[in-house]
Amino acid sequence: MFRGCRVHNRRSTSATTKQDRPMDAENTHQVLPWMWTSGQLSKADIDRLPGLGIQVVINLAPPNSSNALPGEAELIVGRGMSYVQIPVNWEAPLPEQFAQFAAVLRALDGRHVWVHCAKNMRVSAFTYLYRRLVLGDDEATSSFPMREVWEPNAIWRAFIDQVSEGYRQGSS
């Protein structure tokens, strides 16, 4: 489907009821009516996702991340959700990976999505770019939840600038 992505699918029959229990994952934020973001999910978090109406989980952390949940894909698919992994190297994020992320979100139009990585740092940068460049949100709106989670370091600032410049050149 998408080069460099691992995709696992299963038809969802999940409920859409809200749950009041907090998530274990750090830096959890509802970003859009259909999108939530966080750090690494726990098994208990995965058990809660169908009750929140989540249909797809996207993981931007490599499978060998220090806090990766063994068997995450299987746990998610086993609960009726789809799973997509785009492993983004913390020290070397690539513009092509953002393009994959944006393409996956376009393909998932209308579905409720949970996007996570190790600490919601990769994800918040990707979400910022998606909101700013694809959805056309203003700077203040786009910067949520990134501004709540972290200030991008030099590597990630350069990545954000490179992707932004590529979109500007592509739209001229």
Query: Which uninterrupted H or E stretch holds 45?
Result: helix 43-48
Residue 152 domain-assigned (yes or no): yes
Residue 24 domain-assigned (yes or no): yes
Residue 128 domain-assigned (yes or no): yes
Query: Structurally, how many domains does the chain consist of?
Result: 1
Residues 35/67, Cβ–Cβ less than 8 Å: no
pTM above 0.85, yes or no: yes
Give me the count of residues in the chain.
Answer: 172
> Which amino acid appears at position 63 of this protein?
P
Domain that holds residue 16: 6-170
Domain at 132, CATH number: 3.90.190.10
171 has pLDDT over 80:
no
DSSP state of 70: T
* Average pLDDT for 125-136: 97
**3-class SS of residue 128:** helix
pLDDT tens across 54-75, in order?
A: 999 999 999 999 899 999 999 9
Residue 1 domain-assigned (yes or no): no
Residues 128/146, Cβ–Cβ less than 8 Å: yes
The rounded mean pLDDT for the chain is: 88
Phi first, then psi: give them for residue 145, nearest 5 degrees.
Answer: -95, 5
Residue 58 domain-assigned (yes or no): yes
